[in-house]
Amino acid sequence: MNQVTAFSGRLAAPHLDRLRAAQPLVHCLTNSVVTAFNANALLAVGAAPAMVVAPEEAGPFAAIAGALLVNVGTLTAEQASAMRVAVASARQAGTPWTLDPVAVGVLAWRTAFCHELLAQRPRAIRGNASEIMALAGVAAGGRGVDSLVGSEAALAAARQLAEASGAVVAVTGATDFITDGRQTLAIAGGDARLQQVTGTGCSLSALVAAFTACVPDGVQAAATACALMKLAGETAARTSQGPGSFAVALVDALANLRGDDLAARWP
């Protein structure tokens, strides 16, 4: 039986410090709504974002990047072509890539496309409960980008998806679960205001990609990213007055948090 283990900030602390030292180049093929926010989140943690979107350039660039993010939030035919080229190039170069299956299960074309990409062996998959359940083939999907169920309901689907795809799967919610099908970590915390700002989930997926560039253990990479976003949300909530100031405070928190802060929050 796959047991759920509580996340250890003490074990994760060196991963955040390693990311800041490595400053990995993260190639983001992401949705048009959140491009700037994703870039700012990556810059805040010390990574170097690049939004190279042309199909003619996506392949060569994915080969030299430290990690690749594929986010299907505003998927177009041209973007799908760029994603196919980038993923193929990343695989050939050994570049880890992360899939964010935004609204999968809701619309047929993106759902089929995400299943096509699954065959290309992502290093990590990050989504909400409805997205993970739909990608695993056990539910139809949520309401657009919003999940209709809690993360606990998707844990079995996350494990199934991890075993089938070979990816580490992070299903996020009030409690995040990160699993490779054998081991599972749970991270409670965060703040409800993370759901009131566009781009926080997409930025989390970008952070997952960044950590895969410098942390060989995929479960630890994804879990550290999830914990960092939760703690940044908690930190931002203490000083913000609403969603606008929360967004700014969140980026500030991502920039200021260190490994010792993760160790203190989750001993």
What's the Rg (C-alpha) of the chain?
Answer: 17
In degrees, rounded to 5, the angle at the alpha carbon of residue 96 between the alpha carbons of residues 40 and 262 is 55
- Tell me what pLDDT residue 138 has: 84
Query: Both tokens of residue 73?
Result: 């939030």
70-99 average pLDDT score:
98
Q: Strand 48-50 and strand 67-71: pairing?
A: unpaired
DSSP state, residue 2: -
DSSP state letters, 126-173: EEEHHHHHHHHTSS---BTTB-SS-GGGGHHHHHHHHHHH-SEEEEES
Q: Residue 142 — pLDDT band, cuts 50, 70, 90?
A: low
202-217 average pLDDT score:
98
- Tell me what pLDDT residue 149 has: 73
What stretch of H or E contains 211?
A: helix 200-212
Q: Domain-by-domain residue ranges, the chain?
A: 4-265
Q: What is the largest CA-CA distance in the chain?
A: 47
Mean of per-residue pLDDT scores for the chain = 95
> For 4-265, CATH number?
3.40.1190.20
Closest by Cα among 8, 45, 26, 4 to 178: 4
pLDDT tens for 129-139 read 999 999 999 87
- Tell me what pLDDT residue 141 has: 56
Close Cβ partners of 198 (under 8 Å, ≥ 6 residues apart): 33, 34, 37
